Structure 1
């Protein structure tokens, strides 16, 4: 069986849609933080997500926890730390979206940070990923993302 190295149109559409949902999430979390604070925004986001996940699991008739009470088979324990990075991300974006960066600047710089970290993760095989050496076009993409971010942030006047 051969695996295609090109994403399907469905994968591209799903990734694009997740970017739109991420934008809504950051905006909603920023609004909650504006009326409370960043920590409260993170609690609201994760509390709502927990309730939604439990409801979805109930509708799908799935058990919320693995049968033996431990981690799912084959899942490294550090994978469960994703919730910590999610909580910190909500607090950071809730703070910056209410700053002069606004929503577009926050998301533009966030995208740059994601690409830089993903290149590092590919390069050194972090988090169990296969090692892949970045190519010059990858660094060009990072440069263009940061240049676009600067235009978004400083080109408002």
Structure 2
């Protein structure tokens, strides 16, 4: 493999920083949702999170109307119907995490098991080509990473002495 093709496979430092920052924001979001869930219940927490997101999206869309308009906007393909189901899984995620954060799992256990679930689902999505992804057979190192994440989750949850 040439040096050009191997460097193309490496993420840029900015991408790593952004991924790390998004993980930090996810942790804050789960913590805030758990706090709202503690006082108002898991469903209320989900309503608050999605209500806030809706208001932010409407403001963002209003600001976009004042920007330059693209004449090729009608040339874009339509989103598949399953793309609109993100809100359903998001509402379920907020409800479940708001509940589990306020149990003995706490924030770290909730996030650790959530990460394990995300990796497991991504391996399944790769394997069966879900959501239009190219099919890819998971390799041994993928399962080793999943096992390490799961083992770390168990240490976090049960190793609190």
TM-score (norm 2): 0.87
CA distance in 2, matches of 1:99, 1:131: 38
Residue 33 of structure 1, aligned match among 31, 37, 45: 37
Post-superposition shift, 1:42?
0.3
How many Å apart are 1:54 and its aligned residue?
Answer: 1.1
Two-structure CA RMSD over aligned residues (Å): 1.7
Give the unaligned 5+ runs of structure 1: 64-71
Question: Structure 1 runs of 4+ off > 3 angstroms?
Answer: none
Query: SS in structure 1 opposite 2:160?
Result: coil
In structure 2, which of residues 121, 125, 128 is the aligned counterpart of residue 124 of structure 1?
128
- The unaligned stretches of length 5 or more in structure 2 are 68-75
Matches within 5 A, 1:88-107: 88-107=92-111
Q: Which residue of 2 aligns with 1:115?
A: 119
Q: Which residue of 2 aligns with 1:67?
A: none
Equivalences for residues 40-55 of structure 1 within 5 A:
40-55=44-59
Secondary structure of residue in 1 paired with 2:9: coil
**How many residues align structurally?**
148
- Cα deviation digits, residues 22-52 of structure 1 (max 9, x gap): 0000000000000011111000000001101
Structure with higher helix content: 2
Matched with 2:25 is 21
TM-score (norm 1): 0.89
| Alpha-carbon distance between aligned partners in 2 of 1:76 and 1:60, rounded to the nearest angstrom | 23
Which residue of structure 2 lines up, in the alignment, with residue 69 of structure 1? none
Match of 1:68 in 2: none
The aligned residue for residue 79 of structure 2 is 75
